[in-house]
Amino acid sequence: MEDREWIVDQKRAFTSWVNLHLGKRSLSITDLMTDLSDGIMLCNLMEIISGKKISYTKNPKVKFQKVENLNNAVNFIKGEGVRLVAIGGEDFFAGEEKSIMGLIWTLILRYQIQAKLASIGDGNTSLLDFVQASLASLAATADVKVRNFTTDWKDGRAFCALVHRACPAAIDMKDVTDDAVANMNLAFAAAEEELDIPRVLDAQSIANSDKPDEKAVQTYVSLFVDPIKDQRGLYRQRSSTKSAGEVPPSPKPVEKVPALTRLGVLRRRLRVLAIDASRGEYSNAEPPATENDDDALTFAEQHTDALEAALAAEKDRSRATQERLEAALQSDAALREQLASLEKQLAESREREAATGNKLKDSEERLAQRDSELASTRAELDRLRAQSAEENERNAKELADARAQLEQLREQLRKTDETLAERTSEVGRLRAELNRLRSQGTASEGEQERLQRQLSEAQAESDRLRAEVAAAEARLAQDAAEASLLRSQLAASE
């Protein structure tokens, strides 16, 4: 069975079981995952199957009230001695499939299977033991062997035997064929009509499943415990009256099947198979309104040929259906192969997408790193530009100061040159005067010494001025070099 098919069968069975009990209050649900979310249906279910009252909000409006209802129901179940693990009201409110299905199965085990088996008191401690004991007499004659609640029910024979065991008149085991779907539809229809057991399983799904869902089958089979128990009671009653020598009371003995009841079985067989040999419709024939067995048997004999023809037509349709099913299965296998191939391609595509995503992520990280580095570089450039602007401003100021000093030095040099020229002229004049006096011999020795002293002083002053001029020129040259350097730096920074 595919992963989701068993869930569908199990949900169908569990929902039918819940509705079987809720119907006693004219209530029902359609979806286990959503219809229990406010706690009302769950509280009603627990009150019905336990026979006790639960306090809950009848018309919850907000989530808090709904979850409180659910928690009240869960706590009640725990108080009944049912062991629940990690299941709370929030799980039902959120529609947690695993938790909800687990709780419903726990309730079926406790209040349906275990309770019904305990009421029999025949020593059978499991549902499988009960079924095996009930069908033991049919194991050989009807080829019915039940060893599990999965594969042994696929052919429908066990279901028919179960119905026959609960109501012998409902199904004649001679009517059971090799058609699994037909067998199950016959059993389900008879159980619904004669025993009021709802049709909680899908015949097609059970027949086509490799392994039918065990819990779904057990849920359905457990509904036969009471009818079979009642049938056993009838046999025990008849046995006790026979041993006491009393006249058996009504109803009539089960072994004798009245003609009208047998005719009803034949008509139900026609309805289940949905056949009429000539028109392909349901048979509308009705038995005569009489309790006379001979009239009923005469009516049955008149419709025997139609029944046999209808059964033959149904077998032909079944074979055609089987052929179509086999073709569909082959097509399904091919589609599954294509699906597997597409899933593989999708997985590879996702792997490539993941690899591309990783590369993109790495690229984005590197880009972010580059952006960060660029931002740092821009910040550093802005800082250097600001620093350069400050240095340019400072250099411009220093250049202006240097120019001013240069002009000042040039002015000072010009004045020194003028003074030097004057002193040089003075020295020349004094030297000429001294030479004139010496040549005339008219100057006294004191006069000559005075002139000589003045000449020496003038010469010394002239030498000093020349030294100052040389120093000034050197400073001027240095200032010019510094000014040139400042110009170069200023131009470079700009």
Q: What local confidence, expressed as pLDDT, does residue 494 receive?
A: 61
Closest CA to 213 of 8, 20, 33: 8
Token pair, residue 82, equals: 């049912």
Q: Write b or e for each residue in 224-262: b if 16 or more Cβ atoms lie within 10 A of its Cβ, otherwise e.
A: bbebbbebbeeeeeeeeeeeeeeeeeeeeeeeeeebbbb
Mean pLDDT value of segment 167-172 = 87
Average pLDDT score, the chain: 78
Per-residue pLDDT for 309 more than 90? no
The greatest distance separating any two alpha carbons of the chain, rounded to the nearest whole angstrom, comes to 205
Q: Could you read off the pLDDT of 176-228 as tens digits, one per residue?
A: 888 999 999 999 999 998 888 998 899 998 998 888 999 999 999 999 988 88
Range among 92-106, 246-260, 386-400 with highest mean pLDDT value:
92-106
Per-residue pLDDT for 259 more than 60? no
> Minimum mean pLDDT among 70-74, 315-319, 430-434, 455-459: which range?
315-319
> Minimum mean pLDDT among 190-204, 347-361, 473-487: which range?
473-487
Residue 213 burial (10 A CB sphere; 0-12, 13-18, 19+): buried
Decide: pTM greater than 0.85.
no
> Minimum mean pLDDT among 93-102, 248-257, 442-451: which range?
248-257
Within 10 angstroms of residue 366's Cβ, the number of other Cβ atoms is 10
In which band, very low, low, confident or very high, does the pLDDT at 408 lie, cut at 50, 70 and 90? confident
Residue 193 burial (10 A CB sphere; 0-12, 13-18, 19+): middle
Q: What local confidence, expressed as pLDDT, does residue 149 receive?
A: 92
Per-residue pLDDT for 123 more than 70? no
Cβ(37)–Cβ(95) under 8 Å?
A: yes
Q: What local confidence, expressed as pLDDT, does residue 46 receive?
A: 92
Q: Which helix (H) or strand (E) holds 16?
A: helix 5-22
